[in-house]
Structure 1
Amino acid sequence: MSLTLRASLAAAALVAAAVVPAGASTASAAAGPGHYDHVFVIVEENHGFTDVIGNPAAPNLNALAKQYGLATDYTGVSHPSEPNYVGLLGGDTFTVTSDNAYYTQKVDKPSLISQLDAKRLPWKAYLQSLPHAGYQGICFPANCNGAPDKDPLYVSKHDGIQNFTTSDNPRDWNNQVPVDQLDRDLASGDVPAFGWVIPDECHDQHGDPPYCLDSGNVDNGAPATADPQDQRLVATGDAYLGQLVHKITSASFWAKGNNAVAITYDEGDDNTGGGGQVATVLVTSHGPRNAQDATPYNHYSLLDTVEQNFALGCLAHACDAATRPLTPLLAPTGSAAQAYRALPVPSYATPTPIPSEPVTTVNTPISQNGWAVQPAPYIGTGDNTFGAVAAVSKNDVWAVGNYLPDAATANQDATLTMAAHYDGTKWTSTATPNPGPNFGTLFGVAAVPDKAWAVGVGVALGADFLPHSVIEAWNGSAWSVVSAPKLNAQRDILYSATAVNDHDVWAAGIQQNRTGTFGTLIEHFDGSSWSVVPTPNPGTFGNQLYGISADGPNSVYAVGQRDDAHSDTPLVLHWDGRCWSEVHVPGADAALLQSVSVRDGEVWAVGQTDDSTHQAVPFVEHFAHGVWTEQTAANLGAPFSDVTAVTATGKDNAWLAGTYYSDAAGKQVPALAHHDATGWHPIAAPDPGSGDTVLGGLSTAGGQVWAVGFAKTAAGRSPLIELHQD
């Protein structure tokens, strides 16, 4: 018998062993996979095996599973997301137990990446919505977390490489690139041996307000009765997956030698194996076809598979005797290489009738250091969050945000806008219209006597289901949606507003063009209509605005971040009565400004640093006496802070607010700091939450300072309003 025939028969036996009844083991069929020249791993999010296998919302995943190979007993290794990505690369979750910032959960161990580096094998991480190679922030766009919660598109918790200290070097940072680089590499034929492909949160079936729909109730094996919102997310992610696999398998390298794409999910719905059963599909150029493998596998098995393929040795639990490589789904069979043709996905409408829910009051009478929790209106029984506050006087204060409806007729996963008013005696909920039935959030508010404007984002029913800016106005008796400029943008969101008077109102935010780049957005109300005012975009890879404040008609400041290769720095713009221009401020790479307050020519802008070196600590830019200075705010005693608000209260006097992670409390706690002539001083704020407590907005008037946000309890997020009186 010839060696060629013997090899063919052996390969055929492996494929036969792979197609087995559920519960049977094929691990002993062979010692290891054949050598693969290129291996890509694509990671999807938060859906169990039965949520997607057999689900008509995922035609591409199911077609690939049927045409190539499916592991039918594969599990994640932990909950939530981040430890699964770490486990996929390191063979253990180590000390990573949450989705906290990677630089607070460092792993001083080798990883698959350091193994590849040691062997000088080329690799790249292709990260969708990453602004540029080497980006070290925990999210992008960089305004994430806070109150209301803002999921970004790119998140470092869905990477895992950055957790490992062995990858904290320029070479490994620069190998983490935007996913657009994949198209160029496939076209040029310069394809790395290992590709780590991570879709963003709108395309990995995770869900991502305010950039796209949130996840809903997964189908749990019953797609016919599945939540249409989650079905739409699954379909959107599946369409992107189909295109990814099409691009890879259509490239010229695919038919040359052995090549594979592994598709897996980070975690499922239950605790099986530590992270729940998930679907894992192996697509090969010349390997098995129509194969199923019922061997018990997990993320350590996939790591072991890649390590054995490239002769890298093994790491942690990938070395365990019980850990088996996914050999039966990779054994070369001589099958012809074919380009996968992506299938169309079904469309799912997600209507959300606007509910009518009772308003009650949540009251937690806690006082500390001059701050006191106030009774706050509470809509329904779901999450309620305030994110911005505007004080006109002691008797006229507005707060805005969002809430989750709980009415049976509502989509309980879609946020709706909310607003409340303080008349000097109590807070009262005021009904706000929702511009679209899918979700809406108010991020900013500005007010003058008897009038107010709230800005944010909403998604209306439409072909793209993408978010656009929302502006609502209070006319003294009711809120209404007002006409906003229609932009030629993929997405646009307004985050902050400020008013000089009732005919001079400004709003600031971001707009994403059709190619995916983010730019600044400022709109102005002249008493009759809103219009877009041209603004600079100095950053090479994008620009964002998150805060705006006016000191008069000829002095308005807006702040955010500009993105340049290896240098993401604070962005400050100034309106002088004629045009907007960039203000050059001192300072700090990898810093973000989220809020600004101007008073009598003095400017305070606050945010935080955010990268591997600086981590996330409060960051302040201050303008006084014609000079900008960079300040380090009070050390809040934590490695992670999110500073979201500032308000100027007098000469050299200001408050900042946000949240920081407390090791002692094991949660996010409210951050407050006060600046006087001697500098910044941390102030312990009342914390009524048993879970995370976050302050999102500040405002002052009449000797009072208001702070708003949410306090998480066993029942969910409760609205939080705190008051400080001089």
Structure 2
Amino acid sequence: MRRAWRLGLGVVGAVCALTAAPAASLAAGLPPIRHVFVIVLENKAYSDTFANTSAAPYLSQTLVAQGGFIPNYWGIGHESLDNYIALASGQAPNGVTQADAPLYSEMVPGTPGADGQAMGQGSVYPTSVKTIADQLLGAGRTWKGYMEDMGTTCRHPAVGSPDNTQSARQGDQYAMRHNPFVYFHSIIDGPACIAGDVPLDRLPGDLGSAASTPNFAFVTPNLCNDGHDRTCVDGRQGGLPAADAFLRQWVPRITGSPAFKQDGLLLVIFDEAPAPPDSGTSDASACPAPCQSPAGPNTVNPGGPIAGPGGGLVGAVALSPYIRPGTITARPYNHYSLLRSVEDLFGLGHLGYAGLAGQTAFGSDLYTGTGPAVGPTPCSAGSLPVARRGVLPRGSVLFRVRVIRRRGWAPLLELRFRRAASLTVTSRSGRRSLRVGPRRARACATYRFGLRFRHGTASIRAGVGRASERRTVRF
């Protein structure tokens, strides 16, 4: 975002080294996830994104049903840059990062303070401040940031120069403030930036094998596709519809990759809820205890243009072979929690506010699955029975049909197939109806669909050639 407001600033704190919290504090019993993907979208409130009438149905319905839903996920401040900095390093907001750093300036004095926080104002952090990228490289792991429309690797101006990407331009909708890695001397002063901070169009090639896929992939759409701009500079509709279209294009590529299928985790998050003059529901709340979201030593108001301790409630979705579809966790999380969770998976220390005592991290509340399937799902299709007037006998195509009820949410419909089929599901509640399909279903596969209504009927048609098996279930 790009705004201006008056902000009181303070710099206080005891001197200490900017080192990560020791690995002894790491969580135990986590799944063997070794490839983490994070897609960051922009400026949308939970109440807008995940409403029944959401303009992002792929995210709010399809992906929620396929993975884990984290309704209690918060940003840590306003505006954008401070949230991205927190995700990468655990550093709290300062007045410059809250204003999205129109001048790409040194963080001064940059001296170390309590809880791993650098003291001062500015956007380019000293070499002593480390990031998740530094941690991974130090542990022999790999990382990449994939930035849409960046054009060249590690794109940033000279320190002390204006940021000319604050607004989208025709043919260039890259926003440097959504690329956290170029704000750290530990990255930009060495070869790591050229090697790791790359344009998004390199991701498909990297997904070709597990070996070529980085252990940590941070994906940033451009100012249209991340939902930031309400109307895009190229005339397209922006906002949630554009973000949803981006996810429809990229999520299947990621989840279909060898690395994800083997040991992957995909997180879809928003940096912050709206704040004036953004459209949408303004919110500067912060995640509640046990989640930790201090204001930090360098600002008196993380809410920026509105008074408040955080960046508002945004919600998040997680997909993984280690997350059972339909999982919902009530535990509160924020960007520091996400950083800590990634560090835990790779056995790393904790940076900045990710290392606060009691800081929340993903655990058994989210990791509810059993991992990748070790082989094909057993089933026996046999020969196709004779259809009567185009209707196949019960069990010819569908091996199992069941409704999974969820307290406070619309239920899920689970279907297991004996053979490949064309599937159409129509759910009805009173005069309302919603149709999904036709979609191609694979033999021996299990699918789950989020039913739009809490009560009603679902009509299922699983077609093979000109015949079909038909079921109706009440929910």
TM-score by length of 2: 0.56
CA deviations over 1:536-558 (Å, ceiling 9, x no partner): xxxxxxxxxxxxxxxxxxxxxxx
Distance of aligned partners of 1:114 and 1:50 in 2 relative to their CA distance in 1, 3 Å threshold: same
Matched position secondary structure for 2:314: strand
Choose the corresponding residue for 1:110, options 119, 130, 136. Answer: 130
State the match for 1:254 in structure 2. Answer: 260
1:272 is displaced (CA, Å) by: 1.0
d(CA) in 2 for partners of 1:320 and 1:212? 43
- Counterpart code for 1:259: G
State the match for 1:67 in structure 2. Answer: 66
Q: Given that residues 90 and 351 in structure 2 are in contact (C-alpha distance below 8 angstroms), is that contact kept between their aligned partners in structure 1?
A: yes
Choose the corresponding residue for 1:133, options 153, 161, 165. Answer: 153
Counting only pairs closer than 5 Å after superposition, residues 575-590 of structure 1 correspond to structure 2 as none
**1:156 equivalent in alignment to 2:176:** yes
Q: Given that residues 44 and 263 in structure 1 are in contact (C-alpha distance below 8 angstroms), is that contact kept between their aligned partners in structure 2?
A: yes
d(CA) in 1 for partners of 2:85 and 2:151? 22
CA deviations over 1:592-624 (Å, ceiling 9, x no partner): xxxxxxxxxxxxxxxxxxxxxxxxxxxxxxxxx
CA deviations over 1:267-300 (Å, ceiling 9, x no partner): 0130111000012111102322211111111110
Choose the corresponding residue for 1:236, options 242, 255, 265. Answer: 242
Q: Given that residues 254 and 337 in structure 1 are in contact (C-alpha distance below 8 angstroms), is that contact kept between their aligned partners in structure 2?
A: no
CA deviations over 1:377-412 (Å, ceiling 9, x no partner): xxxxxxxxxxxxxxxxxxxxxxxxxxxxxxxxxxxx
CA deviations over 1:560-599 (Å, ceiling 9, x no partner): xxxxxxxxxxxxxxxxxxxxxxxxxxxxxxxxxxxxxxxx
**1:296 equivalent in alignment to 2:297:** no
Choose the corresponding residue for 1:333, options 363, 370, 374. Answer: 370
d(CA) in 2 for partners of 1:263 and 1:83? 18
1:335 is displaced (CA, Å) by: 6.0
State the match for 1:245 in structure 2. Answer: 251
- Counterpart code for 2:124: K
**1:204 equivalent in alignment to 2:226:** yes
Counting only pairs closer than 5 Å after superposition, residues 29-108 of structure 1 correspond to structure 2 as 31=28, 33-54=30-51, 55-62=53-60, 63-95=62-94, 96-100=97-101, 101-104=103-106, 105-108=123-126
d(CA) in 2 for partners of 1:72 and 1:92? 24
1:93 is displaced (CA, Å) by: 2.1
1:150 is displaced (CA, Å) by: 5.6
d(CA) in 2 for partners of 1:94 and 1:172? 25
Rg larger in 1 or in 2? 1
Q: Report the more deviating stretch, 40-49 or 152-161.
A: 152-161
1:336 is displaced (CA, Å) by: 4.4
State the match for 1:271 in structure 2. Answer: 284
Q: Given that residues 47 and 267 in structure 1 are in contact (C-alpha distance below 8 angstroms), is that contact kept between their aligned partners in structure 2?
A: yes
- Counterpart code for 2:249: Q
Q: Given that residues 33 and 264 in structure 2 are in contact (C-alpha distance below 8 angstroms), is that contact kept between their aligned partners in structure 1?
A: yes
Q: Given that residues 32 and 325 in structure 1 are in contact (C-alpha distance below 8 angstroms), is that contact kept between their aligned partners in structure 2?
A: no
d(CA) in 2 for partners of 1:136 and 1:282? 31
Q: Given that residues 58 and 248 in structure 2 are in contact (C-alpha distance below 8 angstroms), is that contact kept between their aligned partners in structure 1?
A: yes
After TM superposition, the runs of 4+ consecutive aligned structure 1 residues lying more than 6 A away are none
Q: Given that residues 104 and 157 in structure 2 are in contact (C-alpha distance below 8 angstroms), is that contact kept between their aligned partners in structure 1?
A: no
Distance of aligned partners of 1:295 and 1:144 in 2 relative to their CA distance in 1, 3 Å threshold: closer
1:213 is displaced (CA, Å) by: 5.4
Decide which structure has greater strand share.
1
1:64 is displaced (CA, Å) by: 0.8
**1:184 equivalent in alignment to 2:205:** yes
Counting only pairs closer than 5 Å after superposition, residues 215-234 of structure 1 correspond to structure 2 as 233-234=239-240
Structure 2, unpaired ranges of 5+: 1-26, 107-122, 274-281, 287-309, 376-475
Q: Given that residues 262 and 280 in structure 1 are in contact (C-alpha distance below 8 angstroms), is that contact kept between their aligned partners in structure 2?
A: yes
Does 1 or 2 have the higher relative contact order (CA < 8 Å, sep 6+)?
Answer: 2
Distance of aligned partners of 1:265 and 1:210 in 2 relative to their CA distance in 1, 3 Å threshold: closer
Distance of aligned partners of 1:156 and 1:52 in 2 relative to their CA distance in 1, 3 Å threshold: same
- Counterpart code for 1:272: S
Distance of aligned partners of 1:145 and 1:36 in 2 relative to their CA distance in 1, 3 Å threshold: closer
1:44 is displaced (CA, Å) by: 0.3
Counting only pairs closer than 5 Å after superposition, residues 223-622 of structure 1 correspond to structure 2 as 233-256=239-262, 258-268=263-273, 269-273=282-286, 274-327=310-363, 328-334=365-371, 336=373
Distance of aligned partners of 1:233 and 1:94 in 2 relative to their CA distance in 1, 3 Å threshold: closer
Matched position secondary structure for 2:260: coil
d(CA) in 1 for partners of 2:48 and 2:56? 9
State the match for 2:186 in structure 1. Answer: 166
Q: Given that residues 38 and 193 in structure 1 are in contact (C-alpha distance below 8 angstroms), is that contact kept between their aligned partners in structure 2?
A: yes
d(CA) in 2 for partners of 1:293 and 1:237? 24
1:143 is displaced (CA, Å) by: 5.6
Structure 1, unpaired ranges of 5+: 1-29, 215-228, 339-726
CA deviations over 1:53-104 (Å, ceiling 9, x no partner): 1344212112111221011111000000000000111112253322014445
- Counterpart code for 1:279: G
d(CA) in 2 for partners of 1:337 and 1:244? 26
Q: Report the more deviating stretch, 261-270 or 319-328.
A: 319-328
d(CA) in 1 for partners of 2:331 and 2:42? 22
d(CA) in 1 for partners of 2:251 and 2:374? 13
d(CA) in 1 for partners of 2:157 and 2:30? 37
d(CA) in 1 for partners of 2:239 and 2:232? 14
Distance of aligned partners of 1:98 and 1:143 in 2 relative to their CA distance in 1, 3 Å threshold: closer
d(CA) in 2 for partners of 1:145 and 1:326? 33
Distance of aligned partners of 1:144 and 1:254 in 2 relative to their CA distance in 1, 3 Å threshold: closer
Distance of aligned partners of 1:52 and 1:213 in 2 relative to their CA distance in 1, 3 Å threshold: farther
1:118 is displaced (CA, Å) by: 1.2
Matched position secondary structure for 1:39: strand
- Counterpart code for 1:115: Q
Q: Given that residues 269 and 317 in structure 2 are in contact (C-alpha distance below 8 angstroms), is that contact kept between their aligned partners in structure 1?
A: yes
CA deviations over 1:335-381 (Å, ceiling 9, x no partner): 6499xxxxxxxxxxxxxxxxxxxxxxxxxxxxxxxxxxxxxxxxxxx
d(CA) in 2 for partners of 1:61 and 1:125? 22
Distance of aligned partners of 1:123 and 1:78 in 2 relative to their CA distance in 1, 3 Å threshold: same
1:245 is displaced (CA, Å) by: 0.8
TM-score by length of 1: 0.37
Q: Given that residues 40 and 268 in structure 2 are in contact (C-alpha distance below 8 angstroms), is that contact kept between their aligned partners in structure 1?
A: yes
Q: Given that residues 213 and 233 in structure 1 are in contact (C-alpha distance below 8 angstroms), is that contact kept between their aligned partners in structure 2?
A: no
1:210 is displaced (CA, Å) by: 6.2
Counting only pairs closer than 5 Å after superposition, residues 588-667 of structure 1 correspond to structure 2 as none
Matched position secondary structure for 2:208: helix
Distance of aligned partners of 1:211 and 1:119 in 2 relative to their CA distance in 1, 3 Å threshold: same
d(CA) in 2 for partners of 1:145 and 1:248? 29
- Counterpart code for 2:256: S
- Counterpart code for 1:298: N
- Counterpart code for 1:87: A
1:37 is displaced (CA, Å) by: 1.3
Q: Given that residues 72 and 279 in structure 1 are in contact (C-alpha distance below 8 angstroms), is that contact kept between their aligned partners in structure 2?
A: yes
1:320 is displaced (CA, Å) by: 1.4
1:171 is displaced (CA, Å) by: 2.1
- Counterpart code for 2:245: A
Distance of aligned partners of 1:143 and 1:304 in 2 relative to their CA distance in 1, 3 Å threshold: closer
- Counterpart code for 1:330: Y
Q: Given that residues 41 and 263 in structure 1 are in contact (C-alpha distance below 8 angstroms), is that contact kept between their aligned partners in structure 2?
A: yes
The percentage of aligned residue pairs carrying the same residue is 31
Q: Given that residues 165 and 175 in structure 2 are in contact (C-alpha distance below 8 angstroms), is that contact kept between their aligned partners in structure 1?
A: no
Decide which structure has greater helix share.
2
Q: How many residues align?
A: 287
Distance of aligned partners of 1:210 and 1:294 in 2 relative to their CA distance in 1, 3 Å threshold: closer
Counting only pairs closer than 5 Å after superposition, residues 667-682 of structure 1 correspond to structure 2 as none
Q: Given that residues 77 and 275 in structure 1 are in contact (C-alpha distance below 8 angstroms), is that contact kept between their aligned partners in structure 2?
A: yes
